[in-house]
């Protein structure tokens, strides 16, 4: 029985990892006098590939990242399929191999997302001409927000703003930055990241003002009062800040630790220098508490889906303890940070352990 279980485990660990179905999918407008011609198609494919690179790196400016220039020289190398869509202008829907792209960029030393993006709950208030209203799904402002989030690969959640929310939180609490009711209302959405924003009507100069904050685990990590040409540009700015901050925490770059220096609430973060060696094919991790086949399946899939994880292979299995041989494009602390982001895993308190050790559930 044990040998059969072990054989099944090896099979699961050696299988190819699966990414989210839409992670590499993009829709791009076709331009020019011949929108269905080869030139317009190549331009759209390059534009679409740039969007995918922004998603998998978490960065908005990607041109100077290691390996990106070479990738953009031949978009068809990463293309899985494409199709034309109607409309004015017509659009090109393309699906790129984001898994291969992540592996290639991490090999080149570019930062890549270390796993599934954590959801960010956004409490957005539009002041309008009245007392202000909460923006929920279906609102035109919500559509602008989700469109910007799709461009940067950020997972945003909007509140239901039903009676349960209203019983706990008021629009005035968002304006007044009263964190007690805010955090209480946010618990039902089960996320560590919460953003609040108040969008003010355009003034006489036509500008729009957005007063926003970003909180992680209840603590403010960024805030600002920004002016933009319109509401779309203001919400783009908010999503850019959210994506940048989360990328600092969850992305991995070969040869760097992606630590964040203190740059104040709104200034650019500075990567902390590091000299730690990369985890390579001679590295391994230990996981305790794996007791069933379903546990093995869940764990194998979650580890394989971490962006910088090139491969996961069984090394040792005994009782409820297992060791995985890993090929991870990052340092030891990056590996620990990425793996502890997997649901059900936490770092074990074992100073004597030779390898990074985690407890399952």
> How many residues does the structure list for the chain?
361
pLDDT string in tens for the chain (361-residue length): 344 344 444 444 333 333 333 678 999 999 888 888 999 999 999 999 999 998 888 888 888 899 999 999 999 999 999 999 988 889 999 999 988 898 888 888 888 876 667 889 999 999 865 578 999 988 889 999 988 888 888 889 999 999 999 999 999 999 999 999 999 999 999 888 999 999 987 656 668 899 999 999 899 999 999 888 888 899 998 998 888 888 777 766 644 444 333 333 333 333 332 323 333 334 788 888 888 777 777 787 788 777 677 778 777 777 777 888 887 766 777 778 778 778 888 888 777 677 788 888 7
Q: What's the pLDDT at 11?
A: 43
Burial of residue 219 (number of CB atoms within 10 Å: 0-12, 13-18, 19+): exposed
Domains of the chain: 2-17+275-360 (no CATH), 25-96 (no CATH), 120-252 (3.30.160.100)
Which three-class secondary structure state does DSSP give residue 110?
coil
Q: Which two tokens stand for residue 183?
A: 């955090």
Which three-class secondary structure state does DSSP give residue 81?
strand
Peptide bond into 257 cis (omega under 30): no
Which three-class secondary structure state does DSSP give residue 82?
strand
For 10-50, the DSSP string reads HHHHHSPP---TTTTEEEEE--SSSTTSHHHHHHHHHHHHH
Q: Which two tokens stand for residue 46?
A: 């390059």
Burial of residue 296 (number of CB atoms within 10 Å: 0-12, 13-18, 19+): buried
Q: What's the pLDDT at 203?
A: 58
What dihedral do alpha carbons 170, 176, 181, 184 form, nearest 10°? 110
Q: What's the pLDDT at 160?
A: 93
The reply to whether the predicted model has a pTM over 0.85 is no
Which three-class secondary structure state does DSSP give residue 237?
helix
339-344 long-range contacts (CB < 8 A, ≥24 apart) are 339/285, 339/303, 339/306, 341/114, 341/115, 341/116, 341/118, 341/250, 342/115, 342/299, 342/302, 342/303, 342/306, 343/302, 344/298, 344/299, 344/302
Q: Which two tokens stand for residue 307?
A: 């962006």
Beta strands in 154-216 (DSSP E): 156-157, 193-200, 208-216
């Amino acid at each position: 029985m044990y040998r059969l279980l072990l054989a099944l485990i090896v099979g699961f660990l050696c299988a190819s990892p699966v990414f989210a179905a839409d992670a590499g999918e993009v829709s791009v407008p076709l331009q020019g006098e011949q929108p269905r011609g080869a030139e317009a198609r190549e331009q759209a494919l390059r534009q679409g590939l740039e969007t995918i690179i922004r998603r998998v790196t978490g960065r908005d400016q990607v041109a100077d990242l290691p390996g990106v220039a070479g990738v953009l020289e031949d978009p068809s190398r990463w293309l899985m399929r494409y199709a034309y869509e109607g409309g004015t202008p017509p659009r090109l829907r393309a699906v790129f191999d984001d898994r291969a792209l992540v592996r290639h960029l991490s090999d080149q030393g570019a930062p890549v997302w270390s796993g599934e993006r954590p959801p960010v709950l956004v409490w957005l208030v539009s002041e309008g001409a009245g007392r202000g209203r909460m923006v929920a799904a279906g609102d035109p402002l919500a559509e602008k927000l989700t469109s910007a989030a799709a461009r940067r690969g950020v997972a945003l959640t909007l509140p239901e703003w039903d009676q349960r929310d209203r019983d706990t939180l008021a629009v005035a609490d968002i304006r007044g930055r009263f964190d007690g009711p805010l955090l209480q209302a946010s618990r039902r959405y089960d996320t560590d990241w919460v953003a609040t924003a108040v969008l003010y009507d355009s003034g006489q100069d036509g500008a729009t003002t957005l007063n926003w904050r970003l909180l992680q685990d209840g603590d403010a990590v960024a805030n600002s009062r920004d002016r933009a040409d319109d509401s779309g540009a203001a919400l783009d700015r908010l999503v850019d800040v959210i994506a940048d901050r989360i990328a600092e925490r969850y992305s991995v770059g070969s040869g760097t630790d992606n630590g964040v220096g203190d740059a104040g609430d709104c200034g650019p973060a500075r990567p902390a220098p590091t000299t730690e060696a990369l985890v390579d094919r001679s590295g391994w991790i230990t996981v305790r508490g794996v007791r069933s086949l379903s546990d093995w399946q869940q764990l194998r899939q979650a580890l394989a889906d971490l962006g910088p994880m090139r491969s996961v292979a069984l090394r040792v299995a005994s009782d409820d303890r297992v060791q995985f041989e890993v090929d991870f494009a990052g340092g030891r602390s990056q590996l620990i940070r990425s793996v502890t982001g997997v649901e059900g895993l936490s770092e074990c308190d074992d100073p004597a352990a030779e390898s990074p050790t985690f407890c399952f559930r």
